[in-house]
């Protein structure tokens, strides 16, 4: 047989469950039917009426006494035939015996003198006269005239009625229970599975979390959440890849075009003086360094996404470390014509990776320099808050639009200002900074007002 696909397997499993349920219901119905048949036979066996033997014998004996006295008359319930000793019929109110007929007296009665043929009762008794046998008296009566209802039959019929009603109620309860606790949840699961097969991962399954079926539905919803999250991650990665190609193409195109133009100018002899050649060479070197920085950022971000960005922690004093870092950053700011200031640094012990935290500071200050305005000022201040050291880099640059602010830490994200003003950069600086800070157990936040500057703060656990 071929391999069963998930969809076919799901249908087969659903069919097995339904077949088992149908078998269970059929078995329950068969048991109820058998019990009903047995009860009916039992009731039928007890349904015959009970003979009132005492009353019957009193009436029959009264006729015998009358026959012996010669005062025999017509009975209220019974008919009789009086036979002589020789078997001749002397008197008769029984249709089958006519006066003057002769009968064999030995064949008239059954055991104990009573013959029961199902509907009629026949009683035969000797008739004595002066101490000697003078004949035989045969009395017949309809059996129903001497029958009384069977009390056991009444009890059993009532019991059967209540048992049958109870069995029906129990069967209804079982079906109702199976429907609500099994059939309906399985049908909902089946429908939800079909929707998932068609790509709908948002429709939730409403269920009662009690019992095994509830646990199954809970696990199914957990699986749906995992699948939904996996699909979102996949879509995010696909979008990030598309964005990567678009951003890299854009950010590589401009410096490469400039380098190509400078090289053609030197090759074609347009740059005919040593000073011009030196100037173009310097510009080409600057563009190459920009491309190198872009490639390094992409490699760093890729390592961060794969969890392979190395973090080497060591315990150091914050004051000495940040004084060195701020000294280097002040030179970069001065080279760009930007005022730079740093507040008092708390002298506390922190556990960090020197290289990575330096990289975070460089990325933040570099962004402030790139998006500077006239008379730009960069201020770095430090605060102790609970068990954390808070580091804030604040500038009065161009700021970030409110609709761009939620995305500043995303990969390759660059606002409209950067694109329209052709500000160089990969859009990875803040993304890398966020990953480094979080790998240190801290957090990073950005607050900005368009046209008024930006404030980026991150925390480091003490």
For residues 12 and 20, what is the distance between their CA atoms, to the nearest angstrom? 12
Give Dmax (Cα) for the chain: 178
pLDDT of 4 above 50: no
**368-380 pLDDT per residue, tens:** 888 887 888 999 9
Confidence of residue 423 (pLDDT cuts 50, 70, 90): low
pLDDT number for residue 185: 76
Least confident of 62-66, 94-98, 271-275: 62-66
CB neighbours of residue 166 within 10 Å: 10
The answer to whether residues 17 and 187 touch, using CB atoms and an 8 Å cutoff, is no
pLDDT of 244 above 70: no
pLDDT number for residue 152: 62
The chain-wide mean pLDDT, for the chain, equals 78
CB neighbours of residue 133 within 10 Å: 10
For residues 160 and 298, what is the distance between their CA atoms, to the nearest angstrom? 85
The answer to whether residues 277 and 266 touch, using CB atoms and an 8 Å cutoff, is yes
pLDDT of 59 above 70: yes
Confidence of residue 345 (pLDDT cuts 50, 70, 90): very high
pLDDT of 110 above 70: no
Of residues 345 and 204, the one with the higher pLDDT is 345
The answer to whether residues 382 and 391 touch, using CB atoms and an 8 Å cutoff, is yes
Confidence of residue 422 (pLDDT cuts 50, 70, 90): low
Of residues 64 and 361, the one with the higher pLDDT is 361
pLDDT of 171 above 90: no
Calculate what percentage of the chain has a pLDDT beyond 90. 16
pLDDT of 437 above 90: yes
The answer to whether residues 140 and 119 touch, using CB atoms and an 8 Å cutoff, is no
Burial class (CB in 10 A: 0-12, 13-18, 19+), 117: exposed
Could you give the C-alpha distances from 302 to 151, 223, 428, 431, in angstroms and in order?
Answer: 93, 29, 10, 11
Of residues 142 and 51, the one with the higher pLDDT is 142
Edge-to-edge strand list for the sheet holding 114-116: 89-92, 78-84, 132-142, 120-129, 114-116
Of residues 449 and 112, the one with the higher pLDDT is 449
pLDDT number for residue 293: 76
**193-221 pLDDT per residue, tens:** 888 887 777 777 776 666 677 777 778 88
pLDDT number for residue 384: 94
For residues 276 and 218, what is the distance between their CA atoms, to the nearest angstrom? 73
Of residues 15 and 54, the one with the higher pLDDT is 54
For residues 135 and 285, what is the distance between their CA atoms, to the nearest angstrom? 154
pLDDT number for residue 1: 43
pLDDT number for residue 315: 94
User: What CATH number does the domain located at 310-461 have?
Assistant: 3.30.565.10
User: What CATH number does the domain located at 51-148 have?
Assistant: 3.30.450.20
Closest CA to 372 of 398, 409, 352, 401: 398
Name the CA radius of gyration of the chain, rounded: 55
Residue 224, C-beta contacts closer than 8 angstroms, at least 6 positions apart: 192, 196, 201, 205
CA 410 to chain CA centroid, Å, is 34
Max mean pLDDT range (201-205, 232-236, 307-311): 232-236
Least confident of 243-252, 308-317, 410-419: 410-419
pLDDT number for residue 258: 82
Confidence of residue 16 (pLDDT cuts 50, 70, 90): low
pLDDT of 399 above 80: yes
In this prediction, residues 330-337 reach a mean pLDDT of: 87
Question: What's the full length of the chain, in residues?
Answer: 462
pLDDT of 419 above 50: no
pLDDT number for residue 25: 66
pLDDT number for residue 323: 94
For residues 321 and 261, what is the distance between their CA atoms, to the nearest angstrom? 43
């Amino acid at each position: 047989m071929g391999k069963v696909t998930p969809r076919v397997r799901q249908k087969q499993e659903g069919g097995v469950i339904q077949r088992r349920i149908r078998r269970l219901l059929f078995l329950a119905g068969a048991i109820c039917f058998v019990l009903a048949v047995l009860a009916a036979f039992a009731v039928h066996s007890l349904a015959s009426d009970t003979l009132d033997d005492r009353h019957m014998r009193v009436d029959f004996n009264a006729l015998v006494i009358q026959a012996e006295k010669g005062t025999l008359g017509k009975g209220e319930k019974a008919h009789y035939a009086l036979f002589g000793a020789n078997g001749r019929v002397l008197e008769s109110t029984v249709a089958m015996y006519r006066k003057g007929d002769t009968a064999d007296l030995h064949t008239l009665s059954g055991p104990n003198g009573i013959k029961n043929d199902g509907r009629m009762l026949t009683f035969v008794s000797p008739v004595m006269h002066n101490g000697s046998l003078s004949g035989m008296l045969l009395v017949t009566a309809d059996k129903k005239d001497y029958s009384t209802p069977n009390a056991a039959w009444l009890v059993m019929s009532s019991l059967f009625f209540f048992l049958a009603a109870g069995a029906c109620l129990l069967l209804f309860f079982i079906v109702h229970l199976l429907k609500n606790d099994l059939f309906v949840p399985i049908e909902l699961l089946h429908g939800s599975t079909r929707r998932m097969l068609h790509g709908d991962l948002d429709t939730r399954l409403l269920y009662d979390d009690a019992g095994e079926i509830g646990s199954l539905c809970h696990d199914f919803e957990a699986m749906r959440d995992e699948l939904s999250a996996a699909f979102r991650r996949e879509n995010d990665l696909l979008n990030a890849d598309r964005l990567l190609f678009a951003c890299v193409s854009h950010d590589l195109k401009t410096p490469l075009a400039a380098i190509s133009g400078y090289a053609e100018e030197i090759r074609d002899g347009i740059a005919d003086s040593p000073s011009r050649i030196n100037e173009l060479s310097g510009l080409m070197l600057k563009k190459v360094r920009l491309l190198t920085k872009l490639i390094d950022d992409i490699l760093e971000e890729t390592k961060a996404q794969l969890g392979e960005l190395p973090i080497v922690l060591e315990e150091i004093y914050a004051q000495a470390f940040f004084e060195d870092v701020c000294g280097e950053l002040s030179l970069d700011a001065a080279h760009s014509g930007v005022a730079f200031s740093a507040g008092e640094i708390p002298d506390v012990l922190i556990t960090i990776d020197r290289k990575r935290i330096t990289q975070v500071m460089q990325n933040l200050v570099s962004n402030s320099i790139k998006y500077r305005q006239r008379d730009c000022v960069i201020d770095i201040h430090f605060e102790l808050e609970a068990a954390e050291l808070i580091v804030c880099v604040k500038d009065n640059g161009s700021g970030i639009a409110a609709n761009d602010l939620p995305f500043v830490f995303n990969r390759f994200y660059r606002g409209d200002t950067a694109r329209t003003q052709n500000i160089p950069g990969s859009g990875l600086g803040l993304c890398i900074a966020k990953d480094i800070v979080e790998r240190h157990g801290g957090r990073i936040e950005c607050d900005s007002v368009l046209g008024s500057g930006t404030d980026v703060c991150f925390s480091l656990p003490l």
